[in-house]
């Protein structure tokens, strides 16, 4: 078992929490973009962390064995479930595998957790992509931010797997013995993210231009869009703030839903231009109609009011300039 512990940290903000030697945080998907950074942050804060190696495609006996071992060592256990298939095109190409891992694997983990450590809490990383898309009267700047009460209408296999997992988890919780927080994540980014994402892709091309001492021409889709794009640093702080909530808030057969987002739409062209300026690259962004998507809403963003009221968490990457600063910063 990969149990890890480090000394207490004097980090500010969410990091001021003191972690008990009698508690453990389990992280699935610990080798992924979010999971890897979260594990390092939790260890820095002094938390006991267990990085689950179990394949979500397997039955739950492996999870049961892990949880039994943790129960014998710790008084309290929380699980942050980040594992699964998150690349949307891959989910579209292999929907059966996506459902097996994202939906059935999640429920297998939860059933094992409820069986072995029924007083524990599960934080499930869901997605804001399961919300209904914008209607014709929600396409402009007057559109309201999406709250947790927005209608559900998943538009991709990835979003559907997350919604079905949420529904299954809610049913388990209603039957008793497990507490649950569904975190509906909007997009968060950093230069360490995979190149198939918007800002990391542009960052990679600009970095090549820097090394070769040349200007840069970048083929892009429609940049006349405004999206709720946050910083990974804010997302990590949000996870820590939720882990710090007392477990009696959500332990009575009811699950909780919380959006995690910056709460502010940011213009994609402005972000790309700011990134090039910060990297001191002369860049030209050339729209390629082949990369455009039809009927793209011009504005789209979420509300984190519920999460902030409950935990005191506030995102730092509210302005475009701050997002670019945190995107380029070390974590």
Answer whether residue 306 is part of any domain: yes
Predicted confidence (pLDDT) at residue 236 exceeds the cutoff of 90: yes
Predicted confidence (pLDDT) at residue 275 exceeds the cutoff of 90: yes
Answer whether residue 328 is part of any domain: no
Predicted confidence (pLDDT) at residue 107 exceeds the cutoff of 70: yes
Q: What's the average model confidence in pLDDT over 100-110?
A: 96
Distance CA 145, CA 109 (A): 33
From the list 61, 6, 3, the residue with the least C-alpha distance to 30 is 3
Instruction: Compute the Cα dihedral for 200, 25, 178, 52 and give only its sign.
Output: positive
In DSSP terms, 284 is beta-bridged to 217
Predicted confidence (pLDDT) at residue 10 exceeds the cutoff of 70: no
More confident residue, 141 or 39: 39
pLDDT score of 5: 38
Name every residue whose Cβ is closer than 8 Å to that of residue 146 and which is 6 or more positions away in sequence.
128, 131, 259, 300, 301, 302, 303
Q: What's the average model confidence in pLDDT over 113-131?
A: 95
pLDDT score of 138: 75
Q: What's the average model confidence in pLDDT over 133-148?
A: 81
Name every residue whose Cβ is closer than 8 Å to that of residue 191 and which is 6 or more positions away in sequence.
199, 200, 203, 327, 328
Number of domains observed in the structure of the chain: 1
Answer whether residue 282 is part of any domain: no
| Predicted confidence band of residue 248 (pLDDT cuts 50, 70, 90) | low
pLDDT score of 55: 87
Answer whether residue 222 is part of any domain: no
Answer whether residue 159 is part of any domain: yes
pLDDT score of 8: 36
Q: What's the average model confidence in pLDDT over 267-274?
A: 97
User: By residue range, what is the domain housing residue 261?
Assistant: 3-190+228-265+300-316
From the list 255, 258, 241, 266, the residue with the least C-alpha distance to 321 is 266
Write the CATH number for 153. 3.40.50.720
Predicted confidence (pLDDT) at residue 203 exceeds the cutoff of 80: yes
Answer whether residue 209 is part of any domain: no
| Predicted confidence band of residue 295 (pLDDT cuts 50, 70, 90) | low
| Predicted confidence band of residue 119 (pLDDT cuts 50, 70, 90) | confident
| Predicted confidence band of residue 17 (pLDDT cuts 50, 70, 90) | low
From the list 262, 287, 256, 278, the residue with the least C-alpha distance to 324 is 278
- CB burial of residue 19 (10 Å; 0-12, 13-18, 19+): buried
In terms of residues, how long is the chain?
A: 331
Answer whether residue 275 is part of any domain: no
From the list 83, 11, 84, the residue with the least C-alpha distance to 47 is 11
Predicted confidence (pLDDT) at residue 194 exceeds the cutoff of 80: yes
Answer whether residue 322 is part of any domain: no
> In which residue are the tokens 């499930």 written?
124
pLDDT score of 298: 84
| Predicted confidence band of residue 88 (pLDDT cuts 50, 70, 90) | confident
| Predicted confidence band of residue 7 (pLDDT cuts 50, 70, 90) | very low
Predicted confidence (pLDDT) per residue in 302-326, tens digit: 999 999 999 999 999 999 999 999 9
Predicted confidence (pLDDT) at residue 296 exceeds the cutoff of 80: no
pLDDT score of 289: 84
Predicted confidence (pLDDT) per residue in 207-232, tens digit: 999 999 888 999 888 899 999 999 99
């Amino acid at each position: 078992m990969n149990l890890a512990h480090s000394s207490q940290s004097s980090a500010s903000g969410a990091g001021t929490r003191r972690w008990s030697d009698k508690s453990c945080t389990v992280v699935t998907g610990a080798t992924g973009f979010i999971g890897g950074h979260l594990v390092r942050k939790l260890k820095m804060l002094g938390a006991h962390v267990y990085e689950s190696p179990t394949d979500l495609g397997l039955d739950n006996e492996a999870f049961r064995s892990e949880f039994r071992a943790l129960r014998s060592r710790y008084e309290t256990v929380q699980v942050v479930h980040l594992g699964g298939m998150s690349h949307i095109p891959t989910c579209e190409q292999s929907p059966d595998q996506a459902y097996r891992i994202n939906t059935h694997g999640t429920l297998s983990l939860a059933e094992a957790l409820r069986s072995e450590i029924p007083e524990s809490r599960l934080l499930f990383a869901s997605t804001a992509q399961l919300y209904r898309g914008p209607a014709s009267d929600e396409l402009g700047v007057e559109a309201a931010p999406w709250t947790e009460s927005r209608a559900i209408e998943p538009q991709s296999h990835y979003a559907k797997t997350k919604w079905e997992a949420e529904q299954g988890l809610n049913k388990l919780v209603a039957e008793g013995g497990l507490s649950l927080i569904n975190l509906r994540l909007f997009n968060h980014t950093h230069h360490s993210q995979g190149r198939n994402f918007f800002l990391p892709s542009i960052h990679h091309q600009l970095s090549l231009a820097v090394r070769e001492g040349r200007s840069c021409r970048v083929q892009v889709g429609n940049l006349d869009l405004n999206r709720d794009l946050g910083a990974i640093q804010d997302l990590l702080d949000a996870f820590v703030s939720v882990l710090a909530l007392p477990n009696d808030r959500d332990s009575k057969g009811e699950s909780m839903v919380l959006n995690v987002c910056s709460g502010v739409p940011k213009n994609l062209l402005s972000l790309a231009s700011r990134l090039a300026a910060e990297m001191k690259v002369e860049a030209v962004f050339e729209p390629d109609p082949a990369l455009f998507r039809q009927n793209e809403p011009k504005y789209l963003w979420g509300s984190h009011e519920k999460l902030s009221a409950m935990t005191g968490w506030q995102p730092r990457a509210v302005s475009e300039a701050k997002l670019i600063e945190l995107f380029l910063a070390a974590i």
